Amino acid sequence: MQPVWHPSPNFGPRRDGLTPSLIVIHYTAMESAEAALERLCDPQAEVSAHYLIGMDGHLWQMVDEADRAWHAGAGSWCGVDDINSRSIGIELDNGGTHPFAEPQMAALERLLPGIMERWGILPEGIIGHSDMAPGRKHDPGPRFDWARLERGELAARRGYDEGPQDVTPHAFRALAHDAGFTAETDDETLLAAVRLRYRPWGKGPLVQADFIPLGHTALGT
């Protein structure tokens, strides 16, 4: 799948010799893909991403994969920061409140394997913006089909084993940290971020079901 090249001026060199080890998925939260494309290429906006996928599956590339796009901002994943220097950013035309269109998801599934192969990125390295910036960001949101990517080995598989009997914020934080959620945040915000990724229907206080997707069975395979 060949993207349409639509260059953005908003990029720079990756810092400290870093190369991509992550792919960060976003939603645009704008009225159209064209509006998002305009903003991502506006020098005054000072934001960009490597790719943008429209609802109809149309694919644009704005920044060369070797360069550092400005899409992630402050945050952390697996104990490291400067996510922009460590990642490829993919924007999806979606407001976060409705399902992602089938042509769009199919285009994403075609795009990801090539990026992964070129940079040696594992499924565990495909994350949402909200994963690395809990509370500050909520994309790709509750309607994004992470399970679909998992089935295609395009995202880390979640755990399905029973959760621990010790249902405490401390135990949950330790398990979430092991899974990659290392950004500094309070217990409530961390729980919301993990739920957004794995069980967005979850409400109320911490329960055993919140632990299950983070199970070490999935992390060790």
Active site residue 91: yes
The active-site residue out of 91, 150, 153, 184 is: 91
CA 99 to chain centre: 16
Q: Which tokens hold the place of 125?
A: 């390295």
Answer whether 60's CB lies under 8 Å from 3's CB: yes
Residue 212 CA, chain-centre distance (Å), reads 20
Residues belonging to the chain:
221
Ramachandran category for residue 120: left, alpha or beta (phi over 0 → left; psi -120 to 50 → alpha): left
Q: Are strands 4-5 and 126-128 parallel, antiparallel or unpaired?
A: unpaired
Instruction: List the structure tokens of 12.
Output: 């720079």
C-alpha–C-alpha distance, residues 92 and 140, integer Å: 8
Token pair belonging to 93 = 């035309």
Strand 59-61 and strand 4-5: pairing? parallel
Residue 200 neighbours by CB under 8 Å, 6+ apart:
141, 142
Q: Which two tokens stand for residue 134?
A: 């809990």
The catalytic residues are 91
